[in-house]
Amino acid sequence: MLTAADRELSRDMARFYDDPLGFVKYVFPWGRPGLLAKHTGPDSWQEEFLADLGAEVKARKFDGHTAVSPIRMAVASGHGIGKSTVSAWLAHWIMSTRPRAKGTMTANTAAQLQNKTYLFSVTIPVS
């Protein structure tokens, strides 16, 4: 049986179905004591990326059954700007807003896969 807190969390997650930027701003303790104390939110390029992704999700109007075109986005950059962080945020967003979500993350080389990227396949049960 779902508690009131479970229902509230479900409603919160549902409102972020097509809003990855809103999700990231909601779920992380930006500006509070801890690792994010000195950060007010994602970096500007990350915000733009997440906002653009959300616009693409909205534009496709996926109904849960009828296939839509895939969203393909890329970021070309140097090391250490936060691409892996965005990948983690996206995995968290998908798993939190889509019941029974499953996915796979891969990398270009075996070393990258072993040292930097993790495979995931997640099923989220819904009561």
Please write down the HEC assignment for all residues of 36-53: CCCCCCCCHHHHHHHHHH
Q: pLDDT: is 83 or 4 the higher one?
A: 4
**Could you tell me if 17 and 96 are in contact, meaning their C-beta atoms sit under 8 angstroms apart?**
no
Largest CA distance in the chain: 48
pLDDT digits (tens, 9 = 90+) for 113-123: 666 654 443 44
Q: Write the DSSP assignment of the chain as a string of letters.
A: ---HHHHHHHHHHHTTTT-HHHHHHHHS-TTSSSTTTT-SSS-HHHHHHHHHHHHHHHHHT--SSS--PPP-------TTSSHHHHHHHHHHHHHHHSTT-------SSHHHHHHT-----------
pTM of the model: 0.79
pLDDT digits (tens, 9 = 90+) for 12-58: 999 999 999 999 999 999 999 999 999 999 999 999 999 999 999 99
Which residue type occupies 95?
Answer: M
Q: According to the model, what pLDDT value does residue 120 have?
A: 41
Whether residue 126 has pLDDT greater than 50: no
Please, which pLDDT band fits residue 125 given cuts at 50, 70 and 90?
Answer: very low
103-127: average pLDDT: 59
Q: Where along the chain do its domains lie?
A: 4-115
